[in-house]
Chains A and B, each alone.
Chain A
């Protein structure tokens, strides 16, 4: 009998083992990545779009898809400044505070034999959001929109019940301005919930939805504009930011946003063939104090908390110094942005301590509720470490998203009454009305978790909606942010930043806040 050491496992000798290893190695080097190359563009989406019908749209993910397959009268202009450019519109202008007249470019076609895009399609697409039974999720974006008067095959007038400045910034160039085909939608029963839209008008059309993985688009042969550079565009669903970054470095996606923590490394040692771009975000992060909580009824206590929060330290630790301090809820570049806040970003612990002394408080113990992501927990930990210098002990409660986003909602129990501090981030569209809308008195018990209520603020919010004079509107929104800060209920942190990593052989097109406009992407 031979010993086990003399007989290799399963009778494989050294020569056979080496041959097998070599064979396996060769197999792994096959050009299996060919599918990802050529004229295919892979763009990362952080979640899946909801569906093809603008009625059910909820945010930018749908815009990412709709921008590729649908058209609008006007679209955001790619670049560093907010503006719009004509798409279907040949001319479009505000003819009175409540009317907008437009003419359309002739010969713009729907795909798959659905004919020309006409003013009837514009009318149908906008008015269906106002139909009660349709339950449009984005109806508020259209504000006081009334109806569209069709004056010709290619012309019409948009009527508003009262002036609405955001129609140019939020409604027409964004989700609510998306044009669907009247005939195709009616044939589908009024809603576009089919697996693939029956017709499209944009540069791409949907080939396949691989749910949870990717949405596959290809060139729309019936597109009336210039032929896009890419034969195929995949919107690749990658939830995790780190996974997206790895996928980019491995060449499996061509364009993705990356986390702020990666910016320094990517700037110092950029992966070969990639470019990093950094854009200021429109979103806003802030610490909110519930003014109706017994601990914060005295405004001096609220002001003490404001002064005890050191924004630069938070930005260094949680945002890796790639974002600037916010002066309010309206980002730079938008109407209503304040160059400076009332309270400097740096903490003033002596002042905070003095305010607590004035309020007769020796040691203040408070709680902050935050989301369970790294940015939020790091922010809270920095606050906890620094606020103790002012005599404030901060406890941190971490929540998963489902639990967190209902903390201040009245219909979900009594937790909204007991909130003390919260760290929140709201996304934003390029109009200040979208920011102030959440802080009016009506929003208490819903999204106004600070329970901030100020009649002047509410009045200004209503008036600014209808104000068409840009300078006056700018002053109104600045005043509103002053009121927020004066209340002691808010400590503004930052707007954040959007770092994008992309292949050098593509020319990406983004909005000023860094979000991709895939329909305008080109080859380098």
Chain B
């Protein structure tokens, strides 16, 4: 397991390095002068020149990239010169909101998806199974931003059950969760479908295994057999899907953060890309990619811990 963990961790670091370096090269070649975009029309040429120098934009691209990695290795994500604050502060201020959003989405998708998948498998080949299949595919097909908008209109405007904007009052867990419910539901809904389909398939497979037949033969209660033995094995692929799905959820978080006017890494990246705020883009992307890769790594390790065959397959 240690060898496997080290191997996976090294791969994760390499992925982050390559992804960020490639992103930097792409970003720097995008049209759009950050000094014009950030400082606006009233900035004098002298201010723009100083701003370019501060951001290191006059240096060769490879040197800028090397400087960026040098700073990162020394624990400094750079400075957001536009607002004159450390990038780390901006990113770390936004990160908890996005993590909460993604975790909320995972909770929604895992809870509803596993229940729906298990229910479907338990009622296989009945009309209930078919309805659940249609629902699952419908959830998968619905784009997150459309779900977000309609959820907002229905649950917040029409019914008035949830707030439309913000992340809630700081220090008030109830308010935070209340503001989190709808956006995380909008993101998690698509994954309910994926998880349900996967859980259903794995559960049907598990229900046909010898150990389940044996358990039944021993007279164990049906509920215990299905939900303690079969489901435990059947959710393993769902864990991996959700781990990889965090990337998709992070993408959806951009829409959810904009539609629900929540702070977060998604909206921070969106704003900083539009404004060509390079230090902030890089810092936020580093953390977002790092978060994604870490989640995928953790999902891999959980899978390997639960099912030793994964270690060999890798």
**Which residues of A come within 8 Å of B, CB atoms?**
1-2, 4-5, 7, 9-11, 28-29, 32-33, 35-36, 47, 50-51, 56, 58-59, 132, 135, 137-141, 193, 208, 210-214, 236-240, 242-244, 246-247, 249-253, 400-403, 405-407, 409, 411-413, 415, 426, 438, 447
B41 at the interface (CB under 8 A from A): yes
CB distance from B84 to the nearest CB of A (A): 5
The reply to whether A7 and B259 form a contact with Cβ atoms under 8 Å apart is no
* Complex alpha-carbon distance, A447 and B44, angstroms: 12
Kindly list chain A residues whose C-beta atoms are within 8 Å of the C-beta of B123.
Answer: 4-5
The answer to whether B161 has its CB under 8 Å from any CB of chain A is yes
When the two chains form their complex, are residues B258 and A243 in contact, meaning their CB atoms are under 8 A apart? yes
B208 CB–A CB distance under 8 Å: no
Once the chains bind, are B115 and A9 in contact (CB under 8 Å)? yes
A439 to chain B, nearest CB (A): 12
A50-B83, A247-B165 are contacts. A213–B262 as well, Cβ < 8 Å? yes
The smallest beta-carbon distance between B70 and chain A, in angstroms, is 26
In chain B, what residue has the closest Cβ to A410?
B33
Contacts of A253 in B (CB 8 A): 165
B232: min CB distance to chain A, Å: 15
* Residue of chain B at shortest CB distance from A443: B41
Known: A140-B44, A405-B32. A214 touches B166 (CB 8 A): yes
Q: Assuming A5-B126, A7-B223, A250-B164, is B263 touching A402 (CB within 8 A)?
A: no
What number of A-B contacts does a CB cutoff of 8 Å give? 154
Among the stretches B13-21, B189-197, B268-276, the one at the interface with A is B268-276
Given A4-B122, A246-B164, A403-B32 contact (CB < 8 Å): yes
Which residue of chain B has the shortest Cβ distance to A53 in the bound complex?
B84
Smallest CB-CB separation from B94: which chain A residue? A212
Does the CB pair B263–A11 fall under 8 Å? no
From A4, A139, A244, A406, give the contact of B32 (CB < 8 A). Answer: A406
Q: Given A135-B47, A246-B152, A246-B156, do A405 and B37 touch, yes or no (CB 8 Å)? A: yes
Judge if B24 is at the interface, Cβ distance under 8 Å. Answer: no
Instruction: Identify which of residues 69-99 in chain B touch chain A, using a CB-to-CB cut-off of 8 Å.
Output: 82-85, 90, 93-94, 97
Complex interface bits, B150-186 against A, C-beta within 8 A gives 1, otherwise 0: 0011001100111111110110001100100000000
B258 near A240 with CB under 8 A, answer yes
Which of A139, A250, A411 lies in contact with B44, CB distance below 8 A? A139
A210 touches B227 (CB 8 A): no
Knowing A2-B222, A140-B44, A210-B170, say if A32 contacts B36 (CB, 8 Å).
no
Chain B residues within 8 Å of A7, by CB: 222-223
Please name all residues of chain B whose beta carbon is closer than 8 Å to the beta carbon of A138 when the two chains form the complex.
42
What residues on A are CB-neighbors of B165 within 8 Å?
Answer: 236, 238, 243, 247, 252-253
Contact B30 A402 (CB under 8 A): yes
Tell whether B243 is near chain A: CB-to-CB under 8 Å: no
Choose one: A58, A141, A212, A405; the contact of B36 (CB below 8 Å): A405
B260 at the interface (CB under 8 A from A): yes
Instruction: Report the separation of the CA atoms of residues A412 and B274 in the bound assembly, to the nearest whole angstrom.
Output: 16
Q: B23 contacts the other chain (Cβ, under 8 Å)?
A: no
Q: Can you list 17 residue pairs at the A/B interface with Cβ under 8 Å?
A: A35-B175, A132-B46, A208-B170, A210-B170, A210-B263, A211-B90, A212-B97, A212-B262, A213-B166, A214-B166, A237-B261, A239-B261, A246-B156, A247-B165, A250-B160, A400-B274, A407-B31
CA gap between A403 and B174 in the complex, in Å: 42
Q: Are A246 and B157 in contact (CB under 8 A)?
A: yes
Check if B119 is an interface residue, CB within 8 A of chain A: yes
**Chain B residues, Cβ within 8 Å of A141:** 42
Residue of A nearest to B52 (CB): A411
Is B264 among interface residues, defined by CB-CB distance under 8 A?
A: yes
CA distance A401 to B34 in the complex (A): 11
The 7 lowest CB-CB distance pairs between A and B, nearest first, are: A212-B263, A402-B32, A412-B33, A247-B164, A238-B261, A250-B164, A213-B263
Taking the closest CB of chain B, its distance from the CB of A3, in whole angstroms, is 9
Is B41 in contact with A447, judged by CB distance below 8 angstroms?
yes
Is A406 in contact with B31, judged by CB distance below 8 angstroms?
yes
A10 to B258, CA, bound (A): 38
Q: A243-B259, A246-B157, A401-B274 are in contact. Are A58 and B222 (CB under 8 A)?
A: no
- Which of B42, B90, B94, B152 gathers the greatest number of chain A CB atoms within 10 Å? B42
Q: Contact at A403–B30, with CB atoms within 8 Å?
A: yes
B306 at the interface (CB under 8 A from A): no
B205 at the interface (CB under 8 A from A): no
Q: Contacts A32-B175, A139-B44 known; A213 to B261 CB distance under 8 Å?
A: yes
> Do residues B39 and A406 form an inter-chain contact, with CB atoms below 8 A?
no
CB distance from B123 to the nearest CB of A (A): 6
Separation of A406 and B259 alpha carbons in the complex (Å): 27
In the complex the two chains form, is A402's CB within 8 Å of B273's CB? yes
Is the C-beta of B267 less than 8 angstroms from some C-beta in chain A? yes
Residue from B90, B166, B222 within 8 A of A252 (CB atoms) = B166
Kindly state the separation between the CA atoms of A51 and B81 in the bound complex, as whole angstroms: 12
Chain B 100-143 interface residues, beta-carbon cutoff 8 Å to A: 115, 118-119, 122-123, 126
Shortest Cβ distance from A71 into chain B, in angstroms?
A: 23
Are A415's CB and B178's CB within 8 A? no
Q: How far is the CB of B81 from chain A (nearest CB, A)?
A: 11
Chain A residues, CB < 8 A from B90: 211
List B contacts of A35 (CB < 8 A): 169, 175
Q: Does B59 contact A (CB under 8 A)?
A: no
- Select A402's contact among B85, B258, B264, B274, beta carbons within 8 Å: B274
Do residues A58 and B42 form an inter-chain contact, with CB atoms below 8 A?
A: yes
A4-B123, A33-B163 in contact; A212/B175 too (CB < 8 A)?
no
List chain B residues, Cβ under 8 A from A413: 31
Interface: B61 (CB within 8 A) = no
Q: Output the nearest chain A residue to B263 by Cβ-Cβ distance.
A: A212
CB <8 Å contact, B268 and A406: no
